[in-house]
Amino acid sequence: MLDVIKIHADFGRGLDQLRSPLLLGTRFWVSWQFLKAGWLKATHWDVTLELFRSEYQVPLLSPTLAAIAGTSGELLFPMLLILGLLSRLAALGLLAVNLMAVVSYWHVLGQEGFEAALAQHLLWGFMLLVIAACGAGRFSADHALERRAGWLGTSTR
């Protein structure tokens, strides 16, 4: 039985080497999804404003403020994630943008036939929670800055 436990532990240590590359891929993938949306909103601002006035139902914010906040979040937070800078904060910020997108478009996403679109938002949310919980990994500005400052613990690989 102890041999099985040792093999399992060795196997786990081997898989641990994949953590940073997987976190990097996750950061890039989820960032790309939001950057595309933010860029489209920014380059077609008149259409964006009209969508926020007529289609998206953002609670508590005026359509103009919601458009500015949403577009800014879709551009800023992914850039931070790509760099791996303030990654946990950026992941939580992008999670808030994602959640607001679901809430403001629930009248569509909540309907039958839109399960795949809703599933995409759930997947992105899960990916962002993983980044928030695990950090950006070795291949990040966060790691380099923490290492330089001597703050790096054993949790970042």
pLDDT in tens, 93-150: 999 999 999 999 999 999 999 999 999 999 999 999 999 999 999 999 999 999 998 8
Q: What's the rounded Cα separation, in Å, for the pair 136 and 22?
A: 10
CA distance 66 to 91: 19
Q: How confident is the model at residue 48 (pLDDT cuts 50, 70, 90)?
A: very high
Q: What is the mean pLDDT of the segment spanning 47-64?
A: 94
| Residues near 63 by beta carbon (within 8 Å), at least 6 away in sequence | 49, 52, 53, 56
What pLDDT is recorded for position 152? Answer: 63
Domain assignments of the chain as residue spans, ordered by start:
2-149
b/e 103-117 (16+ beta carbons within 10 angstroms → b): ebbeeebeeeeeeee
Regarding pTM above 0.85, the answer is: yes
